[in-house]
Amino acid sequence: MASVIQTSGLSRTFRGPIWRPRPVVAVEDVSIEVPAGQSVGLVGPNGAGKTTLMRLLVGLVLPDAGTVELLGEQVTTRTPRRLREVGVLIEEPRFYPYLGGRDNLRIIATLLGGGVAETIPHVLQAVGLAGRADDRVSTYSLGMRQRLGIARCLLGSPRLLVLDEPTNGLDPEAIVDTRRVLAERAHQDGTGMIVSSHQLAGMEQMCDRILFLRDGQVVEDLLLSEVQAAAGEVQLEVDQPAAAVSAIRGAPAIPGIETAAATDRDGIVVVPLQEASASVAPLTRLLVESGVGIEQVTRPRRSLEAAYLDVFGTGHGLDNPSGSGPAGPGIGGQP
């Protein structure tokens, strides 16, 4: 499968502020490859380098070392022709406030050429702006401007989407719709997507693969299926939680199950798993033989939030909602 993005040894350092002149390493030795049709999520604590990495991928910032290939063309000091096939939303989208949403999209479509204007009605409908398309952007709320920014990214059926906090400012209904539209575009149309967000539950709905960034480096690169299949826990609803915990803790070792760590969590017996493939049949058999009635057994899917805390620990906050970092000022979609 062809790659939409490929980097090798990508690094970027910024000069620190006057009061702290020490250089700031924003991205360090990042080598990644994103196949067509794959949706990749970037997660990490504040200042991890997510926004800077996105800027490097599309040439808004040039690297100190390393290379970027965008749709098979190397990103250099000259803007690659391939950028016409990329939808980019980094930080707050900007538009001409005295024009309507449709007219703003027409300007972008004219610059892109190639019949892109024909897709304007479709993208306006997809983001829920068809009824306000001719209103001046100056009357739009933050969420409406964000939706217009996403519509601009979808113009002309791009082969790659690079989106920094795409659901920022949206109401809950619009967040759900936006995630659906983006996931459909990536999975049905073969569009590659790189997206960052502090809303980890939403990333699970949009992404196939997760890159965990810390201090400008990729510290983990996992398929979402690997995250969800990792050893987690088994939860048992029983009629005698205390007796069940006592029986499990006193039982002989069961392969792949941490019997000694069994706990009663608000009336639910929780037993950690050492292996995702561990069978819980010996555990349920043990309880039945101990006279404990079992009402339900569940093995919750491991969440991305749990994986995040495993990688970074509890001393780090979740992703930065603003996507800000040491990347310095940028165009933010300025037409």
The fold for domain 231-301 equals Alpha-Beta Plaits (3.30.70)
Confidence of residue 246 (pLDDT cuts 50, 70, 90): very high
What is the C-alpha to C-alpha distance for residues 231 and 43, in angstroms, rounded to an integer?
A: 21
Could you tell me what percentage of the chain is helix, strand and coil, using 3-state DSSP and rounding each to the nearest 5? 35, 25, 40
Domain ranges of the chain: 3-227, 231-301
What is the C-alpha to C-alpha distance for residues 32 and 34, in angstroms, rounded to an integer?
A: 7
Q: pLDDT at position 198, please?
A: 87
pTM check: above 0.75: yes
Q: pLDDT at position 235, please?
A: 93
- Residue 122 makes CB contacts below 8 A (sequence gap 6+) with none
Average pLDDT over residues 162-166: 94
Tens of pLDDT, residues 216-243: 999 999 999 888 877 688 999 999 999 9
Residue 37 sits at the vertex; the CA angle it makes with 31 and 40, to the nearest 5 degrees, is 45
Answer yes or no: is pLDDT of 54 > 60: yes
Average pLDDT, the chain: 87
Q: What is the dihedral of CA 86, 87, 91, 92, to 10 degrees?
A: 140
Q: pLDDT at position 114, please?
A: 80
Helical H segments across 58-126, by residue range: 101-112, 120-126
Answer yes or no: is pLDDT of 266 > 50: yes
What is the C-alpha to C-alpha distance for residues 14 and 322, in angstroms, rounded to an integer?
A: 19
Confirm whether 3-227 and 231-301 share one CATH topology: no
User: Domain 3-227 carries which CATH code?
Assistant: 3.40.50.300
Answer yes or no: is pLDDT of 263 > 60: yes
